[in-house]
Structure 1
Amino acid sequence: MAGILSVVGTPIGNLEDASPRVRRTLGEADVILCEDTRVTARLLSAFGLRVPLVRCDENVIASRVAHALERVEAGERVAFVSDAGMPGVSDPGQRLVDAALDAGLPVEVVPGPSAVTCAVAASGLACERFFFEGFLPRRHSAQLARLGELARVPGAIVCYESPHRVAATLSSVAEAMPGRRVALVRELTKLHEEVVRDEAAALAAEVAARDEVRGECVIVIAPPTAAELDERRRGAPPVPQSLDEAIDEGLAAGEPKSALAKRLAKAFSVPRAQVYDLVVATAGNDVAGT
């Protein structure tokens, strides 16, 4: 068979969600690139499969791309999976797919569950249009700044969060978007799947009162009303005309360099490392000029 890179979606909890095509593709692979070999080994064991595994997480993917493409070019079938869900969604897998396509190599996507779409469906909120944010910044100030930007999105907003930080993040949502309805979707497809909905402040208080929150969490924020959008647009600051201007504004506001780089990398679709270098250089120039 001709070589191919297969991007394979794996179950996010319930193993019965793996389609026959997912099992067949993994079983036919010459090698599986995965986020954590232990996690994928358990998945393969449940399917009764034995396939060589190679770690390919965010720390090493840059060094794995060239060899993976060589194997595809040599006629091998290379499968790529994350620990759960669709690779490339809030993980670095896009780099491998991008390189394969640039090299003119065949790439196929084998669909599987995704926490994003599952949470949107489970939330019951109006989600005709939604924006997937991934993980919000961890620092409170940077998180509030990003939520302030997202508040102007004319659709629902979907965020990932860890169980240890979800109460604090919900509190930030309540601060940035008071009155918005929010759904916390937890343990998707698992035995204790849960959907809790309320206005942001009430939901934040309910979650904070719990002794413990378990499982990976997805936060779905309802779209703004037309009145809220109009009010925010009237009070919105001018949109920066360039990345340089946005960096100047962030530094002037005292935003931490790392958080600023992460936020602007998303806003301008520029690699984070490149933005961070610009932030550091700009900050250095400002110091030298004083």
Structure 2
Amino acid sequence: MSKGKLFIVPTPIGNLKDITLRALEALKEADIIAAEDTRQTLKLLNHYNIKKSLISYHMHNEEDRSGSIIERLNEGNIIALVSDAGTPGISDPGSVIISKCIEEKIPFEVLPGATAITTALVSSGMDTTKFLFRGFLPRENKDRKVIIEDLKSRTETLILYEAPHRLLNTLTFLRENLGSRKIALCRELTKLHEEVLRLTLEEAICHYEKVSPRGEYVLVIEGKTIEEIDREEKALWENMSIEEHIKSYMDQGYIKKEAIKMVARDRKMPKSEVYKYSLEV
């Protein structure tokens, strides 16, 4: 018996017209549709007049249900996997079953389609050449502290997801740890009440202290700027003499010649000028 095939099918993040022709084709051809929330998927299927057997596949049953899906695939079934919105596997169930398909050598196909990440990133107007997606931050302060320590020094544009009831708390946490960076708050993307607010973290906190957050949010935050990095680096040596500055680099293991070059770069001085101060070091 030949093996079946798994289709990873992105679904609209809001507007039902944003589904692709290939996604509709995969849903129609599937023997079974594995859905994060069968009620939510049923609305989509009814809209396109697609009648299929549905099974639930969500974060709480992903490990167990993956086994039974693999069995069905080995029996020759065509299965389409969908999440409530967007692409399965991106902050949604999907990565477990994909790993198992790779292990079992079961063919699968990932269809391109809607994802809130790229829609929000482009809408933000921030740097799109490099970005870092981190999904939802953990609920516990100690857990998210670990993550923010890594993120705070990154120069990439940062992308997070957040629920409305946690938004103000998360904005306050980000402000305390990142300073008042620029942020784009993207909510209800592609829906009737879509909104993109481009503010600083400080302004965003003030706004949502007066206005109740509604809908699911994508937070797009500017990465650490070159100016910010320069200020921090300058703070490390601005109270040092030039001799002390040279010695600090030598204490880190650099030879004197390299230390002189680095001090000249930091202070925007000619190397020949810095060299004069190195004679006594």
Q: How far apart, CA to CA, are the structure 1 residues paired with 2:30 and 2:120?
A: 30
Q: CA RMSD in A?
A: 2.0
List per-residue Cα deviations over 1:75-115 (Å, max 9, x = no partner).
21111011110000012310000100111111101122101
| 3-state SS in 1 of match to 2:165 | coil
How big is the shift at 1:228? Answer: 2.2
Partner of 1:213: 213
Structure 1 unaligned runs (5+)?
Answer: 237-290
Note closer, same or farther for the CA distance 1:235–1:163 as it changes in structure 2 (3 Å cut). Answer: farther
List per-residue Cα deviations over 1:143-177 (Å, max 9, x = no partner).
34422321111201000000111112111111111
Letter in 2 for 1:28: E
Partner of 2:11: 10
Matched, 1:89 2:59: no
Tell me if the contact between 1:127 and 1:223 (Cα under 8 Å) persists in the aligned partners.
Answer: no
Q: Radius of gyration: which is bigger? A: 2
Note closer, same or farther for the CA distance 1:81–1:193 as it changes in structure 2 (3 Å cut). Answer: same
Partner of 2:225: 225
Tell me if the contact between 2:57 and 2:93 (Cα under 8 Å) persists in the aligned partners.
Answer: no
Letter in 1 for 2:218: V
**Count of equivalent residues:** 235
List per-residue Cα deviations over 1:173-224 (Å, max 9, x = no partner).
11111131011000000011000011111112112210x2211101000121
Task: Tell me the TM-score normalized by structure 2.
Answer: 0.79
Matched, 1:111 2:112: yes
The equivalences for 1:244-259 within 5 A come to none
Matched, 1:40 2:44: no
Partner of 2:102: 101
Tell me if the contact between 1:127 and 1:222 (Cα under 8 Å) persists in the aligned partners.
Answer: no
List per-residue Cα deviations over 1:114-133 (Å, max 9, x = no partner).
01111101111122111000
Note closer, same or farther for the CA distance 1:231–1:133 as it changes in structure 2 (3 Å cut). Answer: farther
Tell me if the contact between 1:14 and 1:189 (Cα under 8 Å) persists in the aligned partners.
Answer: yes
Identity over the aligned pairs, expressed in percent?
38
Q: How far apart, CA to CA, are the structure 1 residues paired with 2:108 and 2:146?
A: 38
Query: Once structures 1 and 2 are overlaid, which stretch shifts more, 141-150 or 127-136?
Result: 141-150
Tell me if the contact between 2:164 and 2:214 (Cα under 8 Å) persists in the aligned partners.
Answer: yes
The equivalences for 1:249-288 within 5 A come to none
Tell me if the contact between 1:144 and 1:172 (Cα under 8 Å) persists in the aligned partners.
Answer: no
Letter in 1 for 2:227: A
Matched, 1:126 2:130: no
Q: How far apart, CA to CA, are the structure 2 residues paired with 1:193 and 1:78?
A: 32
Partner of 2:244: none
Note closer, same or farther for the CA distance 1:233–1:32 as it changes in structure 2 (3 Å cut). Answer: farther
